[in-house]
Amino acid sequence: MNFSKFSEELPDMSVSVGNLTLSSPLIIASGVWPHEAKFWREPYTNGVGAICSKGLTRHPRSGNKGTRIWETSSGLLNSIGLQNSGIEAFVAEELPEISGNQVPVVVNLAIETLEEAEEGLILLKSAKEHIAAIELNVSCPNVDFGGMAWGVSEEGIAQVLGAARPLWEGELWVKLTPQVSNLVDVAKVAQEMGADALVVANTWLGMAIDVDRKKPVFERVVAGLSGPAVFPLALKCVYEAAGAVSIPVIGCGGVSCGNDALAMLLAGAVAVEVGSMLLHDLLCMAEIHDQVRRKLTDWNASSVRDIIGKGRSEGF
């Protein structure tokens, strides 16, 4: 690595996540992007390395009733309820539309029961040539464990990967929940059980009360908090996870500008997911990408890969 000599060439923005090479370290997070072909092409994909699908379930889901999104002073609360058309419809109707646009498709698979997860992976295998990676969402309640999310315990993570890893030969990511007593221990188990990468982290649980109505905003009371409010928390999680495992860590949570993305990379993430910011600006990925590249140019860095993890030591 040589930062001493300025290069007239623009910094190389490509990164590797396991065996997957992305043209940009920026990934569109699950849950925010339409499954319509026009949104998987330029200009919407400028600066984008990959796009995660909405959270998919074995069978169609209509989502939660009542209020689904509530804006806070520094973020968003959401209680969408995994509204989706189901894996069969996704494979037959949606995936062919979105997979031919040169942007890698990462399929977010919501783990509700092990049986349905296994069935879902078998269905997805029929279209594996169109899928760059599977992202396992382990934040869903596990009815066999009293409704706790799969990802809050080492045992839950081990069960999920024990079922999923034998069924999927390609890249298998695990999107961890931050609602866990020891993220590092869970991350280590995920690595031991065969995860190719970790996405750190999913939303934090929060709530809102409608003062005028004098009652909780959401029918389920709690909801997922995302946006700038959670960025410092997510950054800490990334820093801890990246120091504990040898597999790639993908940062996720509250990223809204180039400096946020750079901080995630410096903390040890190899790529960064962006979600809530896209609800404000569908074209923000290009601007974040340019902000990162301009900073790399200022640092005389030849590649974004040169800075990964450099915030863990004395810098450069």
**Which residues are the active-site residues?**
140
Q: Is 148 helix (H, G, I), strand (E, B) or coil?
A: coil
Compute the radius of gyration of the chain from its Cα atoms: 19
Burial of 248 per CB tally in 10 Å (0-12, 13-18, 19+): buried
Place of tokens 């007239």: 8
First-residue to last-residue Cα distance in the chain: 10
Residues 6+ apart with CB under 8 A from 297: 10, 11
Helical H segments across the chain, by residue range: 87-89, 95-98, 114-125, 154-164, 183-192, 231-242, 258-267, 277-280, 284-298
What span, in angstroms and rounded, lies between the C-alpha atoms of 224 and 276? Answer: 11
Residue type, position 306, single letter: D
Bridge partner list, 205:
224
Tokens at residue 119, please? 């069935």
Contact 247, 18 (CB under 8 A): yes
Question: Measured between alpha carbons, how far is residue 131 from residues 8, 186, 225 in Å?
Answer: 36, 26, 28
Distance, in Å, from the CA atom of 226 to the CA atom of 76, rounded to the nearest integer, reads 5
